[in-house]
Amino acid sequence: MYRKTTLRRMQPVTRRYARNLNSLQGILKRLQNLTADIARLELDSAALFNRTEYEQSRKDDKPDDAAIFQDLPAPLATRKGGGVP
């Protein structure tokens, strides 16, 4: 990166080129700093997607409560005659 004092001593075309070069280096540095954040966000996104897929598959595999209790015998109080046999 060229300092301001160095840029002042340069010819106009060279100075413009050096300023643009400084700008590009700054942009590159910012993009490199974003790389770690983007990688973390990508991993978080994949984990969230996998979690929702897993929960959806668990929901699809889970039978309804009504179906579970349908095959059980009725309680004693609701049977014919009521009460204990």
Mean pLDDT of the chain: 81
* pLDDT value of position 23: 93
* pLDDT value of position 42: 94
The whole-model pTM stands at: 0.48
- Which residue stretches of the chain are H helix? 4-9, 12-61, 65-70
The model's pLDDT over 53-84, given as tens digits with 9 standing for 90+, comes to: 888 888 777 666 666 666 666 665 555 655 55
Which tokens sit at 45?
């996104």
